[in-house]
């Protein structure tokens, strides 16, 4: 009998500092402090959207500091679409939707890499449309 879900990937040993450096590179941020500020905002926003086993498994894949940021938020009762996520992040940070979209992509690309393909597939099936692009993936839609 096959398991119902693939277990979370083993932690890669990536430190929070290494994660921030990857995000700094992906987002072309001028300082580590700016990368950390963006990472904090995006992880907290994602923590308000993701629930269930996927939330637990993703937290296990992240460096401890990142996992604390992600799990410090209580999930909202209403999930936002990908575009709604970006607009909400812009409103909370005082930025524009364009900069929030950039920041989200820079952080979630790295988060998706840490999660691994299997877990990221599961995460995307539990979130509304529009998140695949935020994680750096194509958004595939089935015809009705």
User: Quick one: average pLDDT of 108-133?
Assistant: 96
Per the structure block, which two tokens stand in for 107? 């952080």
Q: Render pLDDT for 23-70 as a digit per residue (tens, 0 to 9).
A: 999 999 999 999 999 999 999 999 999 999 999 999 999 999 999 999
Is this prediction's pTM over 0.85? Answer: yes
Per the structure block, which two tokens stand in for 83? 């575009």
Residue with tokens 């921030």: 20
User: Worst-scoring range by mean pLDDT, 27-36, 109-118, 132-141?
Assistant: 132-141
Residue with tokens 């209403």: 78
């Amino acid at each position: 009998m096959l398991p119902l879900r693939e277990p979370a990937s083993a932690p890669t040993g990536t430190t929070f500092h290494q994660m921030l450096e990857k995000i700094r590179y992906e987002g072309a941020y001028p300082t580590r402090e700016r990368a950390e500020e963006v990472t904090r905002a995006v992880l907290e926003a994602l923590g308000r959207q993701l629930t269930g086993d996927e939330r637990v498994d993703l937290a296990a894949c992240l460096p401890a500091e990142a996992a604390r940021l992600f799990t410090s938020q209580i999930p909202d009762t209403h999930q936002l679409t990908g575009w709604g996520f970006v607009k909400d992040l812009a409103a909370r940070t005082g930025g524009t939707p364009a900069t929030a979209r950039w920041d989200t992509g820079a952080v979630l690309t790295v988060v998706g890499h840490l999660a691994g393909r299997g877990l990221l597939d599961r995460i995307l099936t539990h979130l509304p449309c529009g998140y695949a692009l935020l994680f750096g993936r194509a958004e595939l839609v089935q015809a009705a």
